[in-house]
Amino acid sequence: MKHFATISVIGRDKTGVIARFTNFLFHQGANIEALEEQVTRGQFSMVLQASWVGRLIEAKVRQGLAELGREMGMEVTMHLTDPRRPQNMAVMVTREAHCFEAVMRLAKRGSLRAKPVIALSNRQELAGLAKEFEIPFAHVPWEGDRQKAEETALRILQEHNADFVVLARFMKILSPNFVWRYKNKIINVHPSLLPSFPGPQAYRQAYEHGVKIVGVTSHFVSMHLDEGPIIAQAAFQVRPRMTLKEMIARGQALESKVLIRALRLYLAKKLDVHWGVVKEI
């Protein structure tokens, strides 16, 4: 039997971090299947994909990683994964229901190879909809101390063993500290052909600028807000005398479709991110 894990290491940059952790995993019988690291303003971040053939002594590996992390002043997390089971999906929302409802409807029908494990929101409006779909709902206020809010959200995601995160019109900016922990595992949908009209008022900006074609983009979330690797896009033509309300309605329907298309590609393992560009494989 083969076991899989994703291990993240985050802290101040210093010499020998990669060597120490890969050497430890080697002595634990692990095979390093993928490794990605970067340093940003002195902050070191690394994500390892490791596998074990045969028996995995999970407690021993976790303890060893924790001890090595303390010794090197690094935050270390280990997340067990299994490509044979449906991925655990967390959905982050604010108060717009259309994308959340579309994703949950498909998941409930078994049309997505993903298991919804938690709906997390900075507001309370969609708690009732989460209850209808029988998914746990967690309210994490984002006003005030954003760092504390993100720490709480990350803890909840870890408690529910979330493999990836869907931002179904979640209207808060995630910091690099949050994003790195789910690198290329946070999927967002944005109402414009990025990078045009970033932010929460994309339709109003498009309407006021007299845009003739309105687009929708689904992308992986990166450190640069709405400029992450693009997964799927679509667009519609603005008819003469179309009102802002009509544009928003048409756009929101397209948002759901594009987000679902991106999720299907991701769950089918047909995406590869190379130098910030998504390629279908």
Catalytic residue among 82, 145, 226, 272, which? 226
Strand partners of residue 277: 274
Minimal CA–CA distance to 192: which of 217, 172, 228? Answer: 217
Sign of torsion, CA 39 44 47 48?
positive
**Residue 163 annotated among the catalytic residues of the structure:** no
Q: Which residues are catalytic?
A: 226
